Amino acid sequence: MTDSPLDHGAIRVRIDAALHEFLDRKAESAAACRLPADVVGAVRSFLFARGNRIRSLFCVLGWYAGGGIELPDAVVRTAAAVELLHTATLIHDDLLDDRDTRDGRPTVHRIAADRSRRVRDGHAAERFGARSAIVLGDCGLGWAQELLHGAGLSPVQSAAAAAVLDTLRTEVNYGRYLELVTSGRPTSDLDQALEILRYRTVACMVERPLHVGAALADADADADVMGALTAYACPLGEAARLQDELRNVFHDVEPVGQAGLQDLREGRHTVLLALALRHATPERRDHLTGLVGNARLDESGAALCRDILSVTARFEVERMIGQRRMLIGTALDDTRIPEFAAAGLRTAADMIIG
Which of 4-13, 243-252, 282-291 has the largest mean confidence?
282-291
- Residues 319-351 have pLDDT tens digits of 999 999 999 999 998 788 999 999 999 999 999
Percent of the chain, pLDDT > 70? Answer: 95
Environment class of residue 319 by beta-carbon count within 10 Å: exposed (0-12), middle (13-18) or buried (19+)? exposed
Could you report how far apart the first and last alpha carbons of the chain are, in Å?
26
Q: pTM value?
A: 0.91
pLDDT at 1: 37
Specify the amino acid at residue 17: A
pLDDT at 280: 95
- Residues 68-121 have pLDDT tens digits of 988 999 999 999 999 999 999 999 999 998 888 887 889 999 998 988 888 888
Q: Which is nearest to 225 in space by CA: 309, 315, 341, 135?
A: 341
The vertex-268 CA angle with 264 and 274, nearest 5°, equals 100
* Average pLDDT score, the chain: 90
Q: Look at residue 292 and tell me whether its pLDDT is greater than 60.
A: yes
Does 111 or 261 have the greater pLDDT score? 111
Q: Look at residue 263 and tell me whether its pLDDT is greater than 90.
A: no
Percent of the chain, pLDDT > 90? Answer: 75
Lowest mean pLDDT among 49-63, 114-128, 173-187, 211-225: 211-225
Q: Look at residue 279 and tell me whether its pLDDT is greater than 50.
A: yes
Q: Look at residue 294 and tell me whether its pLDDT is greater than 80.
A: yes
> If you average pLDDT over residues 23-32, what whole number do you get?
96
Q: Look at residue 256 and tell me whether its pLDDT is greater than 60.
A: no
Specify which residues 101 forms β-bridges with. 106
Reduce the secondary structure of 240-273 to three states and give it as a string: HHHHHHHHHHHCCCCCCCHHHHHHHHHCCCCHHH
